[in-house]
């Protein structure tokens, strides 16, 4: 953008002058000292102020006159914008003296405003075309120096790089939606590339010593062409077989269906007649469904729930059954006696597997305080190296006397 702004103001060669102009130009965009304008209303206020100055004539205006000229815009906003413009020297005192009341406006901000408007509307491609034409004319001009041509080549290379980068980024990783909406104005510019190539060829012929700059421009052009091709390929891929880039994407249809009112939706179907999507039942379907329903007598088992009512839950019933089993087993093991040693029981059981079962039964019975049996262990150890059970701890299994009953 700076290079565009420089073109009509080549007399401001000195750095300080360029800076001053740059600040003037951006005064229309700056809200306060360091911020850019993000509200279109403020831009309108700037325009009104500059309009007022344009129609005021050489005498200039006071702040109050400007506010009056701005009509129904709020005086506070006008005054604030006026101060910003003044701090950027876009609006200056007519005479530089302490009590000067009249101000005049510089023209650069207004030009810039118009320029920015046009850029926003057309995307800046028209300006780029003009720049390319001017550059080519200047090459043919005998007055153009080597330095000017060099600067132009570099500027154009930068422009094409800046143009290519966002397109490439969108083509690679942007959503198709954004690519479609913002890249389309940038596409289809083979004419632009042709023009730039012509300019490049002319420059190389006239100044062979500018080859590095020309190479830069050529690379930038190639990058732009690649980016445009990639974007076009992606768009065409997404458009599907119809190649209809103008077709609305599926997202649009979906969001319309979500946001539309009932009447809008109905209007889309006006004049169309649909077959009723009514279900048709065959008798066989009916028979199947009924048979299946009658067959699954048990139905689903309900998921486990905490039991809060009085009736005993199934797990308690099961526990009692297990206790009964254990009691009969205990009677079997005792076989009418009141007390029996564990070693004896294991010997009766015979092999290791049966012994293990006896042992587990004994432990289970012993762990149930509600059963009237006791299992006690001693410190002694019976060792039999040759037998199945090489060692057996001393233990006694006996009937519990009523005195020993647990509290």
Which residues would be at the binding site for other proteins (CB under 8 A)?
Answer: 273-294, 296-300
Question: For other proteins, which is the closer residue by CB, 294 or 335?
Answer: 294
User: CB of 83 within 8 A of CB of 153?
Assistant: no
State which residue, 146 or 267, has the beta carbon closest to other proteins.
267
Least distance (Å) from other proteins to the CB of residue 301?
Answer: 8
> Which residue number, 143 or 297, has a Cβ lying nearer to other proteins?
297
Q: How far apart are CA 138 and CA 132, in angstroms?
A: 10
Sign of the C-alpha dihedral computed for residues 196, 198, 202 and 204 taken in this order = positive
Taking the complex as a whole, how short is the minimal distance between the CB of residue 272 and other proteins, in angstroms? 9
CB of 276 to other proteins, least distance (A): 5
Beta partners for residue 105, in sequence order: 91
Within 8 A by CB and 6+ apart from 341, the residues are 394, 395, 396, 397
Residue 261 falls in which region: left (phi positive, over 0), alpha (psi -120 to 50) or beta: beta
In the complex with other proteins, the residue whose CB is nearer, 121 or 301, is: 301
Nearer to other proteins, 242 or 296 (CB): 296
Q: How far is CA 243 from each of CA 176, 360, 362, rounded to the nearest angstrom? A: 15, 79, 84
46's CB contacts (< 8 A; 6+ apart) are 28, 81, 85, 109, 113
User: Residue 270 CB, nearest distance to other proteins (Å)?
Assistant: 13
- Angle, vertex CA 66, rays to CA 104 and CA 59, nearest 5: 40
6 in Cβ contact with 115 (< 8 Å): no
Instruction: Measure the CA–CA gap between 300 and 288, rounded to whole angstroms.
Output: 19
Work out how close the CB of 271 gets to other proteins at its nearest, in angstroms, rounded to a whole number.
12
Q: In what order do the strands lie in the sheet with 373-383?
A: 339-341, 391-399, 373-383
Cβ closest to other proteins, residue 283 vs residue 335: 283
For the CB of residue 295, give the shortest distance to other proteins in the complex, in Å.
10
User: Tokens 């006071």 label which residue?
Assistant: 62
State which residue, 291 or 370, has the beta carbon closest to other proteins: 291
Closer by beta carbon to other proteins, 98 or else 277: 277
Sole residue written with tokens 């486990």 = 304
- In the complex, minimum distance from the CB of residue 292 to other proteins, in angstroms, rounded to a whole number: 7
Cα separation, 262 vs 252, whole angstroms: 17
Give least dist CB 257 to other proteins, A.
Answer: 19
């Amino acid at each position: 953008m700076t290079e565009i702004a420089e073109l009509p103001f080549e007399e401001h060669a000195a750095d300080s002058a360029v800076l001053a102009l740059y600040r003037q130009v951006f005064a229309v965009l700056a809200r306060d000292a360091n911020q850019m304008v993000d509200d279109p209303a403020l831009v309108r206020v700037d325009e009104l102020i500059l309009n007022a100055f344009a129609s005021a004539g050489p005498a200039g205006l006071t702040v109050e006159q400007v506010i009056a000229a701005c009509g129904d815009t709020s005086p506070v906003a006008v005054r604030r914008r006026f101060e910003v413009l003044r701090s950027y020297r876009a609006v200056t005192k007519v005479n530089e003296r302490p009590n000067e009341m009249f101000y005049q406006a510089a023209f650069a901000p207004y030009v810039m405003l118009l320029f920015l408007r046009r850029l926003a509307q057309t995307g800046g491609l028209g300006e780029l075309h003009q720049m390319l034409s001017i550059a080519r004319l200047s090459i043919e001009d005998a007055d153009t120096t080597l330095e000017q041509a060099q600067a132009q080549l570099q500027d154009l290379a930068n422009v094409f790089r800046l143009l290519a980068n966002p397109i490439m980024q969108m083509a690679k990783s942007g959503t198709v939606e954004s690519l479609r909406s913002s890249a389309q104005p940038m596409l289809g510019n083979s004419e632009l590339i042709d023009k730039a190539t012509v300019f490049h060829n002319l420059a190389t012929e006239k100044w062979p010593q500018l080859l590095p700059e020309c190479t830069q421009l050529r690379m930038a052009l190639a990058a732009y062409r690649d980016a445009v091709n990639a974007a076009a390929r992606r768009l065409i891929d997404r458009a599907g077989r119809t190649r209809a880039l103008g077709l609305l994407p599926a997202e649009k249809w979906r969001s319309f269906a979500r946001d539309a009112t009932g009447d809008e939706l109905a209007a889309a179907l006006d004049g169309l007649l649909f077959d009723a999507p009514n279900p048709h039942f065959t008798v066989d379907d009916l028979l199947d469904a009924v048979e299946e329903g009658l067959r699954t007598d048990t139905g689903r088992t309900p998921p486990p729930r905490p039991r809060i009512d009085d009736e005993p839950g199934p797990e308690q019933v099961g526990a009692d059954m297990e206790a009964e089993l254990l009691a009969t087993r205990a009677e079997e093991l005792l076989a009418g006696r009141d007390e029996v040693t564990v070693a004896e029981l294991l010997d009766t059981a015979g092999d290791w597997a049966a012994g293990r079962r006896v042992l587990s039964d004994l432990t289970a019975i012993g762990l149930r305080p509600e059963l009237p049996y006791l299992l006690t262990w001693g410190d002694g150890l019976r060792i039999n190296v040759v037998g199945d059970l090489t060692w057996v701890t001393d233990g006694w299994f006996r009937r519990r006397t009523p005195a020993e009953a647990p509290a």
